[in-house]
């Protein structure tokens, strides 16, 4: 059985589901050794737990020094492990990893990294682009959508290999237990456009009920606001909603939104602002991902929701889930190892 060393350098809470799905899929075929923060996933403890001192908050320069020290600690530890066929890095900070990428490539027979928001940081932190292109050429870049692969090869012109590995998405049983007297709308991200949301709330019909993840309390009976949802509560609200509203104030250009992916998982239409990622999905799955703008009012959204072709919606969802399944991903990993 081939051996994979699965490392999550950042061990972010927001990546828990991503890591759970990856590790569950990989362990069905490979012998997987996990390196990560304590409790960074629920289903299994890390085989090599990264000490908590490497996850304490730091300012920019100290943060990167801390990341370098973390990688040094990991390199020292994995040199004592049995040989493995693939080092798969779930997330990383660009500059520190770039500086250590040659050593990482020397330690592992093959090294591949998943790119999350690393590419979208280029415009905000320009030096990251320089260091990204300096990542050792033996490191394989993994991206979640084909247009991101094209961007790396044609625009950034990386000399590394770039492969498309779809983001795994759960196939959940759709809920049909709706209260037909009202419409339930879930806004599951705090990164919303506040002016737009206030406009939506102020002009919503009485039979529309909102649940929003927010640090703001809204004094209206049809709005439930919480700063955080436990996993079970989040899933229940998502599943019982008619559709998802995502008027995001941040751009998703060359990174993906797990919440939009969850809309396919839970079988929910998503109404979101246009960016490169949402436009890409809207072109492929127009009945699932709907584009709105700051002028779109709640009545227009509800009317578009009512006009969705359920047969086409189901076909688009089925196609998406097939493209983001273990059956699609695992053969790619096998090819990467071989």
Report pLDDT for 41: 93
Instruction: Quickly state the pLDDT bin for 199 (edges 50, 70, 90).
Output: very high
Confidence of residue 235 (pLDDT cuts 50, 70, 90): very high
Contact 6, 33 (CB under 8 A): yes
HSE-CB at 201 with a 13 A cutoff on CA atoms is: 21
Residue 105 CB-density burial (10 A; 0-12 exposed, 13-18 middle, 19+ buried): middle
181 pLDDT higher than 80: no
Q: How confident is the model at residue 56 (pLDDT cuts 50, 70, 90)?
A: confident
pLDDT interval class at 23 (50, 70, 90): very high
Q: Is the pLDDT of residue 272 over 90?
A: yes
CATH hierarchy code of domain 183-323:
3.40.50.2000
Q: Looking at residue 57, what is its pLDDT?
A: 84
- Crossing angle between the packed helical segments 258-266 and 310-323, to the nearest 10 degrees: 120
Torsion of CA 277, 333, 117, 266, to 10 degrees: 50
43 or 227: which leads in pLDDT: 227
CATH of 3-165, one of 3.30.420.40, 3.40.50.2000, 3.40.50.720, 3.40.50.150: 3.40.50.2000
Q: Where in the chain is the domain with CATH 3.40.50.2000?
A: 3-165, 183-323
At residue 252, does pLDDT exceed 70? Answer: yes
How far, in Å, are 34, 99, 124, 260, 308 from residue 295 at the CA level?
47, 46, 27, 21, 20
Give CA–CA dist 164/16, Å, rounded: 21
Tell me the pLDDT band of 61, cut-offs 50, 70 and 90.
confident
First-last CA distance in the chain: 12
Task: Give the largest CA-CA distance in the chain.
Answer: 63
* CA distances in angstroms from 324 to 150, 166, 219, 257, listed in the order given: 19, 5, 40, 14
Q: Which helix (H) or strand (E) holds 4?
A: strand 3-8
With a cut of 90, say whether residue 34 has pLDDT above it: yes
> Would you state the pLDDT for residue 177?
60
Residue 310 confidence (pLDDT) above 80: yes
Query: What is the secondary structure of 230-270 as a DSSP string?
Result: -HHHHHHHHHH-SEEEE-BSS--SSS--HHHHHHHHHT--E
Query: pLDDT (tens digit, 9 = 90+) per residue, 138-167?
Result: 999 999 999 999 999 999 999 999 999 999
Q: What is the pLDDT of residue 111?
A: 97
Q: What CA–CA distance (Å, rounded) separates 117 from 211?
A: 27
DSSP 8-state code for residue 192:
B
Indicate the pLDDT class of residue 179, thresholds 50, 70 and 90. low
Indicate whether 322 pLDDT > 70: yes
> What average pLDDT does the segment 171-200 reach?
89
């Amino acid at each position: 059985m081939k051996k994979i060393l699965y490392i999550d350098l950042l061990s972010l809470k927001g990546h828990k589901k991503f890591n759970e799905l990856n590790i569950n899929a990989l362990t069905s075929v490979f012998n997987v050794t996990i390196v990560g923060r304590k409790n960074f996933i629920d289903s299994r403890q890390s085989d090599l737990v990264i000490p908590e001192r490497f996850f304490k908050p730091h300012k920019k320069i100290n943060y990167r020094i801390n990341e370098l020290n973390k990688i040094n600690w990991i390199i020292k530890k994995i040199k004592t492990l049995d040989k493995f066929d693939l080092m798969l890095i779930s997330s990383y900070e660009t500059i520190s990893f770039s500086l250590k990428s040659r050593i990482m490539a020397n330690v592992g027979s093959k090294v591949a990294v998943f790119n999350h928001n690393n590419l979208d940081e280029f415009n905000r932190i320009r030096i990251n682009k320089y260091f990204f292109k300096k990542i050792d050429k033996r490191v394989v870049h993994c991206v979640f959508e084909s247009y991101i692969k094209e961007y790396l090869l044609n625009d950034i012109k990386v000399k590394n290999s770039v492969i498309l590995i779809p983001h795994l998405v759960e196939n959940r049983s759709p809920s049909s237990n709706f209260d037909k007297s009202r419409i339930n709308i879930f806004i599951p991200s705090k990164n919303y456009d506040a002016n737009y949301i206030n406009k939506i709330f102020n002009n919503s019909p009485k039979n529309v009920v909102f649940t929003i993840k927010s640090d703001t309390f809204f004094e209206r009976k049809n709005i439930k606001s919480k700063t955080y949802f436990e996993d079970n509560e989040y899933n229940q609200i998502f599943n019982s909603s008619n559709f998802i509203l995502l008027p995001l104030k941040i751009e998703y250009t060359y990174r993906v939104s797990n919440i939009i992916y969850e809309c396919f998982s839970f079988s929910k239409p998503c109404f979101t602002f246009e960016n490169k990622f949402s436009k890409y999905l809207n072109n492929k799955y127009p009945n699932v991902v709907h584009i709105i703008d700051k002028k779109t009012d709640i009545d227009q959204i509800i009317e578009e929701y009512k006009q969705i072709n359920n047969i086409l919606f189901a076909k688009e969802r089925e196609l998406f889930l097939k493209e983001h399944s273990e059956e699609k991903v695992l053969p790619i990993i096998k090819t990467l190892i071989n």
